[in-house]
Chain A
Amino acid sequence: MRLAWKIMTLSTSTLAALLTIASLPSRAQQPTPGAPDNQQLDVGQLFATTCGWCHSDGGRAAGKGPQLMDSKRDDDFIRNRIKNGKEGAMPAFGVTFSDAQIDEIMKYIRALKPHEG
């Protein structure tokens, strides 16, 4: 089952492109970096677009980065790592995500379960 944690309040323009939109803009339109702040973010999709290259299988398995499912790290550690990254290993997302959004990503991580079947 696909996990889909929704974030209802977005505050950064860089998240705009993750937003659910019905269709691509026409050629006459320009992409809108500064998008509305009340759209939805699918954290499962965030893993499929960005995080999953290193945290394999949606965070369920170790890859370049550690397995996130059943992580023994506490919330403060994970929150700090998402915000500040680790040089040469993980980008810093503190500019990209608000604290509330990072909390939502952590909820996704804490809820990770093995695939059924």
Chain B
Amino acid sequence: MKKQWRYSCFPVVVIGVTLMASGAFAQSVDTARIESAGQNDWLTYHGSYKSYHYSPLAQINPSNVSNLGVAWIHIPGRSTRGLQSMPLAADGVLYYTGSYSRTFALNGATGEVIWSYFPELDEALIARQTHSPYNRGAAIGEGKVYVGTMDGRLIALDMKTGKVMWDTKLIDSQKLTVGFTGAPLYAKGTVVIGAQGGEWPGRGPIFGVDAATGKKKWEFLTVAGTDDAIKTWGNDSWRTGGGGGWMPGTYDGETNTILWGTANPAPLYDWSGADYKTQGARPGDNLYTTSVLALDIDTGKLKSYHQELPHDAWDFDSAVGEFVMLDRDGQKYIVHPNKSGYIFVYDRNLAVKNVWRITQNSNFVKDIDPKTGELIGRRDFSAGKASEPLCPHISGGVSWNSGSYNPKTGLYYKLGQEWCMTLEVQKTTPIVAPQAQLNIGADFKIAPPPGGEIYGHLDARDPITGAKKWEVRFPEPPLGSVLSTGGNLVFVPDSRGTVHAYDADSGAELWSHGDGTGHQGGIISYAVNGKQYIAVVAGFGGMASDDYAPTFGGVYKSMPRDDGALIVYSLK
């Protein structure tokens, strides 16, 4: 393999440029193509703008899935905190990222490296960061691959060669101590990316960047980003910040709108007691944290929003998960999970149409009104020890990874997590400038649900009503994404390191295979030259999975937290 060292005007190293394998020629990826979600490709983080995490490919199906085996493996190296990204596939080429924003283009049939790109990062800064150095994926469009970095940059690479096309510094990570871990979204000439934010005293910006030039087009502040929103932070507490949009949203082409979820306010836990509107660390609703936003893609202007948890006092972001856009009986819906385990169903203007819950163990509220989305019986803590464990645990009722909607079965396949935590809220002094790192506001410890054990479950449910058709349980909550296919299969990469394939109608397990380490990232399907592949990232470590060794022991005690691989399956 030929090695070339290239320098542009940016600090960059491009390694190993080779010609693409035959049959793998990059064509134009544009908004229309991502919208239509071609049969053979996976063109954006959520699969397509519809956000289904579904592949129509049916070559692998219940009749032959037992013959599924490893086609090829790729090792990205330096997988600190494992691999957490969602691969992409276009025209026979697989693109994916690893820790430190390492980016690869591989021949989708053979795994041969077409190009790789290792950005030169501010390593001293990254050593200071808590939620780092993992990367959760890239975006593609207009002949480029877009990837964010932990030191606050968004970089565009030539899709064919890996050469840097532009490198734009969007936030002052040295000052804020946060950067970008989430995948960007490409749509209509704009690349959208959201910063980390929930635990830090910034204002959680979401950026729109010109895909052609790298020039910033707009910036929306998720903390007090409008005059109305500032009024929802009593005592100027917007200065303690939070928010951010650390996972990718999606694009609604009919309304020219970006849909994006935002993170919690800081501190995570408030001592306000019941009168949170006037008391505590951040009196008020704290807009636009823990909300779903509809932003004009061209201007970044707020068109509508729904705050899923007003005055979030539990760290249950709206930044997680997919925006499933589906039609039923003439009504257009958006289905979006909140980290708490409540699933919100909206119309396209973000009016609440239903709310249902995937978890069994939940007590941060008594319920959420399915007609209005209003929280009923919320638990707002005072300083001191909580009388009973808070459910779910800070890692959420659902992971930041995504579920899958299968339009053939009409079912939504989603993982739920059953765990709780003891909590002692502390009245802390306001943190209005970046300091040591986080702003939690409590001591806590993971705990089992009342009267039971921690577990996870894959549910097959109606996405609108939440009616459950079947469930599969796991001894420890799986943290990875779910894939469903036109071959009537549902794939779940679990935490122990096994990939499972289930019958999409019944939940019967049809196949499994060990990947050698735990999963906490993406899984996709694509095709090259008429052959279907399943690609999954393996590699454990991070804010949720680091709890597994002390909590569950067993295989997690020896599971590395600095290793990972991309594993690709096909029929033997």
Interface residues, chain A, with chain B CB atoms under 8 Å away: 14-21, 23-27, 31-33, 42, 44-50, 52-54, 56-58, 61-64, 85, 87-89, 91-93, 95-97
CA distance A48 to B444 in the complex (A): 9
Which residue of B has the minimal Cβ distance to A35? B433
Given A14-B436, A18-B435, A24-B239, A47 contacting B443 (CB threshold 8 A): yes
Inter-chain contact B130/A52, CB cutoff 8 Å: no
Verify A87–B437 contact, CB threshold 8 A.
no
Per the bound structure, the CA–CA distance linking A18 and B439 in Å amounts to: 10
Q: In the docked arrangement, what's the CA distance between A16 and B235, Å?
A: 20
Q: A52 with B442: in contact, given A23-B235, A88-B561 (CB under 8 Å)?
A: yes
In-complex Cβ contact of A56 among B430, B436, B439, B446 (8 A): B446
Q: A19 — which chain B residues lie within 8 A by C-beta? A: 429
Q: Does B452 contact A (CB under 8 A)?
A: no
Knowing A14-B436, A24-B236, A89-B561, say if A64 contacts B431 (CB, 8 Å): no
Summed over the interface, the residue pairs from A and B with CB atoms below 8 Å come to a total of 132
A61: chain B residues at CB < 8 Å are 445
> Given A33-B433, A49-B441, A58-B443, are A88 and B541 also a contact pair (CB < 8 Å)?
yes
A88's partner among B175, B424, B438, B562 (CB-CB below 8 A) is B562
* Interface residues of B, Cβ cutoff 8 Å to A: 80-81, 124, 127-130, 133, 175, 201, 235-237, 239-240, 267, 394, 422, 424, 426, 428-446, 541, 543, 546-547, 550, 561-562
Given the known inter-chain contacts A49-B438, A53-B440, A96-B435, please indicate yes or no for A17 contacting B426, CB distance below 8 A.
no
Q: Which residues of A contact B236 (CB under 8 A)?
A: 24-27
Considering only CB atoms, which chain B residue lies closest to A18 in the complex?
Answer: B435
Most B CB contacts (10 A, CB to CB) among A56, A85, A88, A96 go to A88
Q: Top 5 A-B pairs ranked by shortest CB distance?
A: A64-B546, A48-B426, A88-B80, A17-B435, A56-B445
Q: Are B430 and A48 in contact (CB under 8 A)?
A: no
Residues on B with C-beta less than 8 A from A96 are 128, 435-436
Distance of A94 Cα from B386 Cα, bound (Å)? 34
A50: which of B127, B394, B424, B437 is its contact (CB, 8 Å)? B437
B240, B431, B433 pick with most chain A CB within 10 angstroms: B433
Separation of A53 and B441 alpha carbons in the complex (Å): 10
